[in-house]
Chains A and B, each alone.
Chain A
């Protein structure tokens, strides 16, 4: 099999580490090699978080070169845009459309672009393989805004780029979230999956 490179970007506190753990565990359970890089420490305090998950028969390094991500999974639209160079025309770009405005904007050190009129049209122009979804609304429908990360994993799974099945991913979610929240998270996963399938 060809190696699959997944780049996950977003903001500290969005549950990105849990997401990469879910994906990594699912791959390992299929007997695949997994290599990931994570962000801990200072950057987590509201800063940009970039993690990678690489899956294959044998994976040698945890980082991804420019243009070499098979999927860019963006939890925040501006961060997706910032990471666009990691994608090529073959890459699926899956992004949440819900903005988290950095404090720099509120103190006048920058302008947050218009998501609907600037960022998404520009992404569409750059690639045909784009899935945009409002993960917050879907997560709230599932029971809590905090499940946005699992909604995003649902959308990611819908691309069929991962070498793991939908059931494999669901199993991994069950193993990685607290028992009492399993149903809510599986619902969130399903909602993200269905929305992405509708859009593809």
Chain B
């Protein structure tokens, strides 16, 4: 991705939306970047890992989104252009800082990228993050394409500086993870040498200052109301004798635009780029003479309700279609089909191609699963063995280990958000007599498991706190974290120790074990369950995907002579390299990484690295 550093204005290149966002920041002279990884925003950080140093900016993986927001805010308060990015639910974590940051504002430009995930491809909810712009009075831009995302990030820094307020760029999966043609602009030198000029009246949010800074924020947003009317990202695409008017923003615009162009439909579209504040005048002009209006936006009726309110004043006879009329749903992402379905009710329009019909087989589901060799599988297996048939309550967390929810492990019973495993485990332990486990990963522990640990110790909760340390932030693409000894820019870093932190909090039972040694791991869990209060167990083994980059082991095979077809390996352990056909179990040699966990699980020693022919 070194190509992103090419200073060749006009060059056209195929970029992932997240790469385009990075390029926009480079064209704006970004000096500071901070994040906590989260799909669909992760590749912004993955890209900067590779190029931040060459470009000359500072980049870090912060312990969580709130810290990322705060470090970026301080950079921007010190005159250094800064960006913080996160997935939509990461904004929830950072929102405490963000809501007050809007009062004090920034000196240099600050851009916040909030990446939404309609349809929940890789998320626990599909909240419409645009509402934060109203809650916090945050100027907001909604890109539709990778190229526009790049342009909006660049513009966002200028806008932020003009208003002295952070600017929110709200994307969705089909922008972040779309790949499109992007045209390069000029690269700017990175901002550096910040200096924080003290201004307590502005930067210290005590009540006597905040009562003055809140009206200041509203005044700045009055200025933003004028700016939004002139935004180059908002424009009408009108046709003569339009049968339908459309207002749209974000990814939804792409689909209505495509359907309109493809079938040459008589539709006028007002495409909105800056959606907080809304360009009220432009919308008024657009709907004034219209008869019928369709609002196309994914998730909540954010635009629709405002436009509906406006129409009561401007054009009371306007017929408005969208979510309230039932033409669109508030659920999931849109696609060309959903647009066509809505249009087929509103105008003379029929879908051309008939989808193929084929015989109906009950196709087996293919949900995501723990990888072959994943150390989490051994940990879960050991926990269930240690329980010996007793029912445990498994309070889980956000990461690869959430996949323990699948058969045959079924080690995920309760999950809300990053770090929730620990607080919830405490709640279960205080209110039930069940044996409770909290499962979370190393990165998630640093993210939000730590305060909950201290809280649980203090309140004398009683559960087994399992910190599954695979030495990386695996699910989002193997980013480093405070325990890995490496910074986001690839430099060596001091290592935070999970065990020392737990002991420092006062926990008496703290044990580390290699889950690849299943027997030993079972023993640790048995003793952990005996212990009163919180017992911390750290199953520690590198993510199989990382370990396999460094050394390759020979795959295992099932010795069919020895196999008694007990199916413990498939029914209790369930590595995806184990293939059962009828009663026969074999190992898929391509998938097997040779970790040998299943060989330990087999009571008949029928799984071996070399089977004699």
A residues at B contact (CB < 8 Å): 3, 11-12, 20-21, 24-25, 28, 33-48, 58-68, 78-79, 81-82, 84-91, 101-113, 118-119, 122-123, 125-127, 145
Contacts and interface: CB of A to CB of B under 8 A. Distances in A.
A89 to B, nearest CB: 7
Contacts of B575: 103
A43 B122 CA distance: 7
Interface in B329-366: 335-337, 340, 351-359, 361-366
Given A28-B14, A41-B476, 15 more contacts: A3-B262, A12-B368, A34-B14, A38-B16, A39-B177, A40-B40, A41-B40, A61-B257, A63-B174, A67-B352, A68-B336, A84-B355, A104-B407, A106-B579, A107-B408
B40 A45 contact: no
A87 B366 contact: no
Given A60-B257, A106-B574, A44 B368 contact: yes
Nearest to B257: A60
A113 to B, nearest CB: 5
A104 B365 contact: yes
14 contacts: A20-B179, A28-B181, A34-B180, A36-B180, A46-B369, A48-B366, A61-B258, A67-B351, A78-B363, A84-B356, A102-B576, A107-B574, A113-B363, A126-B356
B371 interface: yes
B180 A35 contact: yes
Q: Which of B16, B40, B174, B367 has the most CB of A within 10 A?
A: B367
Contacts of A21: 14, 179
Contacts of A11: 366
Given A63-B174, A78-B364, A123 B358 contact: yes
A45 B369 contact: yes
Interface string B13-33: 110100000000000000000
A41 B39 contact: yes
Nearest to A47: B368
B356 A67 contact: yes
A24 to B, nearest CB: 5
A61 B363 contact: no
The dominant DSSP class at the A interface is mixed
A65 B257 contact: no
A12 to B, nearest CB: 7
B364 A45 contact: no
Contact of B367 (A36, A89, A104): A104
Nearest to B365: A104
B564 interface: no
A87 B570 CA distance: 36
B554 interface: no
A145 B400 CA distance: 27
A58 B336 CA distance: 16
B368 A43 contact: yes
Contact of B590 (A33, A102, A111, A145): A145
Q: 7 closest Cβ contacts across the A-B interface?
A: A110-B364, A41-B39, A41-B122, A47-B368, A67-B353, A61-B254, A67-B355
- Which of A41, A89, A110 has the most chain B CB atoms closer than 10 A to its own CB? A41
Contacts of A84: 355-356, 358
Nearest to A111: B364
Contact of B366 (A41, A58, A104, A145): A104
Given A45-B371, A105-B580, A38 B177 contact: yes
B179 A102 contact: no
Interface in B355-390: 355-359, 361-371
Contacts of B181: 28, 33-35
Interface string B232-273: 000000000000000000010011011001100000000000
A67 B580 CA distance: 35
Contact of B39 (A40, A46, A82, A108): A40
B506 interface: no
B403 interface: yes
B174 A67 contact: no
B353 A90 contact: yes
A200 to B, nearest CB: 19
B43 interface: yes
B369 A65 contact: no
A45 B403 contact: yes
A90 B354 CA distance: 10
Contacts of B368: 12, 42-47
Contact of B121 (A42, A88, A111): A42
Contacts of B180: 34-36, 59, 62
A86 B361 contact: no
Interface string B456-489: 0000000000000000000111000000000000
Contacts of B369: 45-47, 103
Name which of A33, A47, A61 has the most chain B CB atoms within 10 A of its CB.
A61
B296 to A, nearest CB: 12
A91 B590 CA distance: 32
Contacts of A65: 335-337, 340, 351, 353
Contacts of A81: 358, 361, 363
Contacts of A125: 358-359
B289 interface: no
